[in-house]
Amino acid sequence: MGKTLTEKILTDHLMVGELKKGQEIGIRIDQTLTQDATGTMAYLQFEAIGLPRVKTELSVSYIDHNTLQTGFENADDHAFLQSIAAKYGLYFSRPGNGICHQVHLERFGQPGKTLLGSDSHTPTGGGLGMLAIGAGGLDVAVAMAGGPFYLATPEVIGINLSGQLKPFVTSKDIILKVLELLGVKGGVGKVIEYFGEGLKSLTVPERATITNMGAELGATTSIFPSDEITKKFLEAQNRVFVYRELLADNDCKYDQIIEINLNDLEPLAAAPHSPDNIKTIASLEGMKVNQVAIGSCTNSSYTDLVKVAKILKGKTINPEVSLVISPGSKQVFEMLAKDGYLVDLISSGARILESACGPCIGMGQAPSTNAVSLRTFNRNFFGRSGTKDASIYLVSPETAAVSALTGVITNPTKQKLDISTNMPEHFLIDDNMIIPPLADGSEVKIIRGPNIKPLPVNNPLDNNIKGEVLIKVEDNITTDHIMPAGAKILPLRSNIPEIAKYVFTSVDKDFSQRALDKNGGFIVAGHNYGQGSSREHAALAPMYLGVKAVITKSFARIHKANLVNFGLLPLTFKNESDYENIDQGDILTLKDLLSSLKNGNEIKLINETKNKEYELLCDISDRAKDIVTAGGLLNYTKGI
């Protein structure tokens, strides 16, 4: 039997284990990326491992999240990251050079390579035929040290695309359709692999939009083949030397196949407050719009913004709408200026932001009270925009631009305008904002500002744990709920004692102090706990506050791995109905943990407040159990 594209790349990179569905494997990582919101902690962790230089083929440190410098903290972090890159052999993408995923696609991505990034949208690289996976910073640090990345051998869902998109229907609408079909939990433990005749009409940036938002499915990653479309993109980027054809075998077998006819698609939106709450634009037409934001790692490519410029050319945005646009990279920004499209954007009344993540992570441009904001981003979680009562709709750039003109949600397919745009034969290549690695960085001194605090390390797991239920939360709690972002909190990513004060503030403002007063305890949650961002701070900060275990109905993949990495037990109810019998404030006890974990036994949970006993499961590999027992991956790696 032939192999899927995913199986081919996994086979080529297999270091530990066998490719048997659900079994743990370790794969070699060729490339890594970090961004500044997660990178400082990742490099503190790499330093703790004690190697003189990264061992990957290529590693890049990007500055794209914490670029709003309202105090010294972000600038200090940037200086730290630049000195780390110089010392340890990384490329450094300076502030203003662009969003990590857009730049990596343009300048570093290679078909058939593995990429591990400390950002959940790292799967963007799948649009180029990479096996690109988001993970916590500690996993990335270990990969930079030459260690394998461990994951469960994934199932592979094949999505067969046929037909061709109609005018003003976009790749954003394809991934929104997939989200409608599978939901935010439908990709957990799976890779989404695209194939079919419909691929021939999708450019690499369009494919990257789809793989980028595959993160919202909970998928391990998403991937497209490397074909003639890929080759043309790499030729235009003056990097055709990295091209290799990479296709699934004709006789490969997918675990599930989903058929999507592109001819049948129409413009869609993800309505508040989840990326899988899909509505047709036709059903939303006429709703008043207050803000439109175009950009993010999902939809900020050159061709995306050229189409927006063609829609806005010679027109003025509605006087009651604020329109902001973030070009995805310096390359995109320069080409828009050189080709005259930037003038059209500015003349329309759009506010041009720097090439960074910006409003997507709540870094500025929070909507007004009770606003409706159309965004071309990838997430619309409650409060993520910075305004709790705002309603965020995720849409294509075309829908966003047309609606900015009318002031209401408008179906773009009614436009008579021709906005068809070909991929450039040659992109503007200017890498002057990328600093290459030094041949020898041994003499470089690391710059550490006062906001960069030592890395907290957990203690080995106790055999018996007793504590209070510090908080009980429902299904689909995101890492934004656990560890909020935004301009106030993101600058504290290097300072765990300070950022820990904000754990769960959007849910329960007293959580942090309560956890400290109670000397830690337990978190109890519903399904899909920890969905969304890869931010390991959502595990690290609760660990600092004394949380010993998280008990849920189910976990999101990256967050579960992050809990393990920092020595917090990820436990699930054997009987989900037991969730209803536990309340905040209950005193819980876990006994004989070490022997239960070692022998693979169910774990007994005693609710001393209610005098009840429950059975819990710890569904992680033997290796992961050893990591938790050691008190986390750093202790485990160093043999503590």
Q: Catalytic positions, please?
A: 64-65, 119, 379, 533, 535
Element (H, E) at 62: strand 58-62
Neighbouring-strand partners of residue 327: none
d(CA 456, CA 539): 12
Q: Is 242 in contact with 148 (CB distance < 8 Å)?
A: no
In the 8-state DSSP scheme, what is residue 246? B
In the 8-state DSSP scheme, what is residue 201? G
443 CB-contact burial (10 Å; exposed 0-12 / middle 13-18 / buried 19+): exposed
Residue 287 C-beta-side C-alpha neighbours within 13 Å: 21
Residue 73 C-beta-side C-alpha neighbours within 13 Å: 22
d(CA 574, CA 546): 25
**Which string of b and e fits 519-539 if b means at least 16 CB within 10 Å?**
ebbbbbbbbbbbbbbbbbbbb
Q: Is 318 in contact with 291 (CB distance < 8 Å)?
A: no
DSSP for 326-385 reads --SBHHHHHHHHHTTHHHHHHHTTPEEPPSS-GGGGTSS-PPPTT-EEEE-SS---TTTT
User: Rounded to 10 degrees, what is the CA torsion of 31, 6, 261, 125?
Assistant: 0
d(CA 500, CA 513): 10
d(CA 634, CA 565): 8
Question: Which amino acid belongs to residue 177?
Answer: K
231: its two tokens: 């080759």
Q: Is 215 in contact with 297 (CB distance < 8 Å)?
A: no
Say how many C-beta atoms besides its own lie within 10 A of residue 32's C-beta: 28
Helix (H, G, I), strand (E, B) or coil at 286: coil
317: its two tokens: 């945005």
**Which string of b and e fits 5-25 if b means at least 16 CB within 10 Å?**
bbbbbbeebbeebeeeeeebb
Nearest to 360 by CA among 376, 338, 347, 348: 376
Beta strands in 176-281 (DSSP E): 190-195, 221-223, 256-261, 268-270, 278-280
d(CA 610, CA 524): 16
Q: Is 491 in contact with 71 (CB distance < 8 Å)?
A: yes
511: its two tokens: 């959580």
| Residues in Cβ contact with 286 at an 8 Å cutoff, skipping those fewer than 6 apart | 408, 409
Nearest to 122 by CA among 31, 18, 57: 31
Q: Is 370 in contact with 337 (CB distance < 8 Å)?
A: no
